[in-house]
Structures are given as structure tokens and as C-alpha cells.
Structure 1
Amino acid sequence: MNLKSMLPVGREHGFAGSVSPFVSLQREIDRLFDDFSRGLPALGGNGAAKLLPSMDVTETDKEIEITAELPGLEEKDVQINVADNLLTIRGEKKAEKEEKDKNYRLVERSYGAFERSLQLPEGVNADAIKATIAKGVLKVTVPKPAPAQAKKVEVKSAA
């Protein structure tokens, strides 16, 4: 006897009154992956949240200052690009830890790239942007553009 012939079939969901076993299996697998990935940074793993640098953006009358925490990085590890009023900070974090004892040797290596982008206001002069890094803190200074001035256009007669 065929099992399908015993199950009532509805129009919307396939089997009437029940959810397909494959749908519930997919939901359960999705939930497990979500739970697993959510716990990685809390467990001290090298999750993506650890790679993204913390950033502060402050604004004064004359400039925008972006500060990013990049512990252990030097100027050769960081790249800053500006294109179409989008400032992008890229870098690569590398870490190596080695422990030696009488009965064991432990070597751990981790690395990963990060990228953060910020939209800049219209009219920013990309050549005037300055960046410095000291003790793992990147400081990018962006001079604000001058406010647009309205210009009066004289109207003349055409004849």
C-alpha cells in the first residue's frame, strides 16, 4: 500500500492539516546554526564580531573625526580609500600565540580581514583627509566642505 494514498492532500501546504516534515527539519537546522553562530563570540572564538573594529565618529564645525580601535595593527596593516564620497577602512588582523611547557607545545594562529565604510558628505576634498595610527588607535580627520553659497544670477531681456 502507498503511504501517500493514506494522507489527505490540501491545496496550500501539500499535506492538509500538517506541515511537511522537510519544512520542520529545515527550520530546526536553521535554528541550530543560528544558535551556534550566535554563541561564537561569547565563547571567545574568532567570530566575525571580533574582526570588526569599534569606531567612533565625532563632528565639529570644521571636521569629521573617525576613531577606530585596531589593537596590534600598524600603518602597513591598514588601507584607507575614498571613492564616490565613501570612506573605506580595510585591514588584516593577525595573531599568533605559542606556549611551551615540559609536556606540551601549543601554537595558535588566527587571522582575518575586516572592512568598514562610512558615507561622507558631498563636496569633501579627498586630498585633504589625514590619517594617523598610534598604539592601535586609528584617527582619520576629514575636513568638512564649505557650505554651498547661493549665487544670484542676473536676468537680462532677450531682445
Structure 2
Amino acid sequence: MLNRWNPFIEMSNGAVALGPFKEFDQLFRDLSVVRQGGARELVPPADIYETAEGITLQVDLPGHDPKAIEVKVENDTLTLKSERKAERSEKDGARRLERSFGVYTRSFVLPRTVDTSKVEARYENGVLTLTLPRREESRPRVVEVKVNG
């Protein structure tokens, strides 16, 4: 049977057709995860930078109450959790709702070089910045070369 080819949809055999909107569609598939019971958890985007001093993690959480942002370090896992509540609802006469509301959560497995007792969190202009310093023993050090004679 012949079907009309559409480059923007997934094929019935599970293969994804190539097209100019493939990455765009994947972005929206990755933004939210549906958990058991139909509850939706949103995954905020993050940037990670690594230096000799440690790791800096920046997570976009615009419109979140800083007091409601939970940062938890347990063993080697860093977990972020926050909820962005809708200010208005469909009952208020909204014609179109595109902004995401709900529970935002993200977990990261930390390398053993991170000193989890010194993690710092700062929220400014909708961006949560976490500073994860390296353990002193894992930082690079300069060894002095002694010259004899």
C-alpha cells in the first residue's frame, strides 16, 4: 500500500523521517515527561561549565518563586525541583495558553571530584546558578622542580 510521504511525522515502523523541523519537534518532546498518573514533569534547560576550581551549573527557571526552589544533594546525585504555578486559568477567558506550568525537576550525577558539602545556589533574573567546587585533593597543583647543584 502506498502512503503519502510526510517528512514531519514519525513513520509507522518507528523510524523518524528527516525534515527541517526534526530538531524543533525533538526539543518539545524532550521538554516534558509524562509520569504515572498523567502528572507532567517539566525538564528545564541547563548549561554546565567546568574549570579547575569546579563546576558551574546554570538552569533556566523563569517565573519561579526562589523560596520554592529545592536543591538536594544526596550521595552523588544533585536534584533540582521547583513548581511554577499558573497565574490565570482557562476559566479566566484565556484564548491561548503556551507557557508551561507544573513541576520542574532535573537530576545530575556528580563526579567524585565535587565537594558536595560546599555546593552553593544563587537565583537571579530567572536563572538558578549552582557552584560545585572541587575537593581540595582533586584540584590540580603545581609541583616545584628542585635543581641540585
Q: Give the structure-2-normalised TM-score.
A: 0.57
How do residues 90-129 of structure 1 correspond to structure 2 at under 5 angstroms? Answer: 90-97=81-88, 106-107=93-94, 111-129=101-119
Retained in 1: the 8 A contact 2:113–2:138?
no
- List runs of 5+ in structure 1 lacking aligned partners: 1-27, 31-37, 100-104, 149-159
| 1:48 correspondence with 2:32 | yes
Match of 2:53 in 1: 62
Retained in 2: the 8 A contact 1:74–1:133?
no
| 1:80 correspondence with 2:71 | yes
CA–CA separation in structure 1 for the residues paired with 2:113 and 2:59: 23
Which has more helix, going by share of residues? 1
CA–CA separation in structure 1 for the residues paired with 2:123 and 2:113: 25
Retained in 1: the 8 A contact 2:54–2:114?
no
Aligned partner letter, 1:131? A
- List runs of 5+ in structure 2 lacking aligned partners: 1-11, 15-24, 34-40, 140-149
Write out per-residue CA displacement over residues 23-64 of structure 1, whole angstroms, 9 at most, x where no aligned residue: xxxxx8x9xxxxxxx79x59xxxx727932110000000110
Write out per-residue CA displacement over residues 120-141 of structure 1, whole angstroms, 9 at most, x where no aligned residue: 1115322210000011000000
Q: Secondary structure at the match of 1:96?
A: coil
Q: Secondary structure at the match of 1:127?
A: helix
Q: Number of residue pairs matched? A: 105
Q: Secondary structure at the match of 2:64?
A: coil
Larger Rg: 1
Comparing both chains, which one has the higher relative contact order based on Cα–Cα distances under 8 Å and sequence gaps of 6 or more? 2
